[in-house]
């Protein structure tokens, strides 16, 4: 599929790049790297995301050019939909983007069934950033320092700092090559992980009060409510990493973050150890992801949602 994508890039002039709502490091880094490469080839490229870039990714080169207002989508010859297993994940303009004449979907999620004609999916890849790296190498385009920074950030964040099972030898080779081309691992890590606001720590202290263990200590969970966000002054984006906390406890196989989006509506993030497949759990509720990292949204009271999740987890564990 890489030759076909390269052909479309060479053939057309204007490109729209987008990703999922509440973009993470992989989504943003991949978008920025691809946009930089396209512009370097003399193309016109624009990144649109429904939601704003989280604070800890705004230092990435080019992030200030990302827009939240999609004007005149008909002017673009091609749209890249990155890191999305389903077109609906781009948010409100999904129907508009879905009607565009040429859509290229690049993704690595297990739950992606392919929603357009030109699809480059590798479910074994560490990240969408790694797939964009392959595309750039296939095209023979230069990897500038900015591109290297953005791709390294994408790969690093989606591999949990190169700790997750999705970290393969090809992943580390790509990361090494990005460092060779100017990516600074320490600078990137410090800005992404060690530069959070005080409000995040205040939220974390509130969240830790909710930590519970279920199913004989095999499942750990944390709850972040809208009330906690309000009283601490934190944003929902500041919960990044909270889901991993209970997983550090001995004996815990699955960790869950329950983030209240609105009354009786929760976003659930799952992480797991070893071969425990939380993608199956998320898929049961209409979500998806990977074996060891997945997410979904569920309606109901907190008690109802927790009970539903435990019922499904009993089958998985």
Predicted pLDDT at 112: 82
- Read off φ and ψ for residue 263, nearest 5 degrees: -55, 125
Q: Which two three-digit tokens encode residue 284?
A: 């049961």
- Residue matched to tokens 């920074």: 149
Mean pLDDT for 56-70 is: 95
Residues 87 and 220 both lie in one domain? no
- Domain end among 141, 176, 193: 193
Any residues with CB less than 8 A from the CB of 311 and at least 6 apart, and which?
none
Any residues with CB less than 8 A from the CB of 231 and at least 6 apart, and which?
206
Predicted pLDDT at 176: 97
Residues 175 and 230 both lie in one domain? no
Q: What is the DSSP letter of 65?
A: G
| Each residue's pLDDT tens digit, 184-193 | 999 999 999 9
Q: Which two three-digit tokens encode residue 99?
A: 């009607």
122-152 burial by CB neighbour count: b if 16+ within 10 A, else e? eeebbbbbbbbbbbbeebebebbebbbbbbb
Residues 164 and 247 both lie in one domain? no
Mean pLDDT for 30-36 is: 98
Residues 155 and 202 both lie in one domain? no
Instruction: State in Å, rounded, how far the first CA of the chain is from the last one.
Output: 37
Residues 33 and 50 both lie in one domain? yes
Please give the biggest Cα pair distance in the chain: 59
Give 135's Cβ-side CA count (13 Å radius): 34
| Sequential DSSP letters for 195-261 | ---HHHHHHHHHHHTT-EEETTTTEEEEEE-HHHHHHHT--GGGGTTGGGTGGGSTT--EEEEEEEE
Mean pLDDT for 81-92 is: 93
Residues 210 and 180 both lie in one domain? no
| Sequential DSSP letters for 146-171 | HHHHHHHHHHHHHTTTTTSTT--HHH
Contact 49, 58 (CB under 8 A): no
Predicted confidence (pLDDT) at residue 39 exceeds the cutoff of 80: yes
Strands (DSSP E) contained in the chain are 14-18, 44-48, 78-82, 103-107, 118-121, 212-214, 219-224, 254-262, 265-272, 288-289, 293-299
Residues 218 and 171 both lie in one domain? no
Mean pLDDT for 140-164 is: 95
Residues 189 and 202 both lie in one domain? no
Band of pLDDT at residue 288, cut at 50, 70 and 90:
confident
Residues 48 and 157 both lie in one domain? yes
Q: Domains in the chain: how many in total?
A: 2
CA gap 25, 129 in Å, rounded: 9
- Model-level pTM greater than 0.85? yes
CATH number at residue 163: 3.90.1640.10
Q: How far is CA 259 from CA 128, 207, 227, in A?
A: 25, 10, 11
Predicted confidence (pLDDT) at residue 240 exceeds the cutoff of 80: yes
Band of pLDDT at residue 74, cut at 50, 70 and 90:
confident
Residues 189 and 255 both lie in one domain? no
Predicted pLDDT at 317: 77
CATH number at residue 291: 3.10.310.30
Percent of the chain surpassing pLDDT 90: 86
Residues 303 and 273 both lie in one domain? yes
Band of pLDDT at residue 274, cut at 50, 70 and 90:
confident
Angle at the Cα of 171 from the Cα atoms of 168 and 174, rounded to 5 degrees: 150
Mean pLDDT for 265-276 is: 93
Residues 77 and 178 both lie in one domain? yes
Contact 18, 47 (CB under 8 A): yes
Domain that holds residue 236: 198-316
- Domain end among 161, 193, 225: 193
Predicted confidence (pLDDT) at residue 244 exceeds the cutoff of 90: yes
Closest CA to 244 of 269, 227, 264: 269
- Domain end among 193, 216, 238: 193
């Amino acid at each position: 599929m890489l030759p076909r994508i390269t052909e479309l890039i060479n053939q057309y002039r204007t490109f729209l790049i987008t990703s999922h709502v509440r973009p993470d490091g992989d989504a943003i880094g991949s978008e920025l790297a691809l946009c930089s490469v396209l512009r370097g080839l003399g193309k016109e490229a624009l990144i649109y995301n429904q939601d704003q870039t989280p604070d800890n990714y705004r230092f990435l080169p080019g992030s200030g050019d990302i827009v939240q207002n999609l004007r005149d989508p008909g002017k673009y010859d091609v749209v890249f939909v990155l890191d999305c297993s389903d077109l609906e994940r781009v948010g409100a303009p999904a129907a508009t983007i879905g009607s565009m004449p040429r859509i290229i979907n690049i993704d690595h999620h297990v739950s992606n069934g392919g929603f357009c004609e030109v699809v480059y999916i590798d479910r074994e890849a560490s990240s969408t950033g790694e797939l964009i790296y392959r595309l750039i190498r296939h095209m023979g385009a230069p990897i500038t320092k900015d591109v290297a920074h953005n791709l390294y950030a994408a790969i690093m964040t989606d591999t949990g700092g190169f700790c997750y099972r999705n970290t393969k030898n090809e992943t580390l080779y790509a990361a090494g090559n990005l460092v060779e081309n100017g990516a600074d691992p320490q600078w990137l890590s410090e800005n992404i992980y060690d530069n959070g606001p005080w409000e995040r720590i205040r939220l974390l202290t509130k969240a830790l009060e909710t930590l519970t263990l279920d199913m004989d200590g095999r499942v750990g969970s944390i709850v972040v409510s809208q009330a906690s966000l309000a009283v601490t002054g934190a944003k929902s984006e500041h919960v990044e990493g909270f889901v991993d906390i209970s997983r550090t406890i001995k004996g815990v196989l699955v960790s869950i973050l329950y983030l209240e989006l609105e009354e009786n509506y929760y976003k659930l993030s799952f992480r797991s150890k070893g071969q425990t497949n939380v993608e199956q759990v998320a898929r049961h509720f209409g979500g998806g992801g990977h074996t060891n990292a997945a997410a979904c949204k569920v309606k109901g009271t907190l008690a109802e949602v927790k009970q539903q999740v435990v019922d499904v987890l009993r089958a998985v564990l």
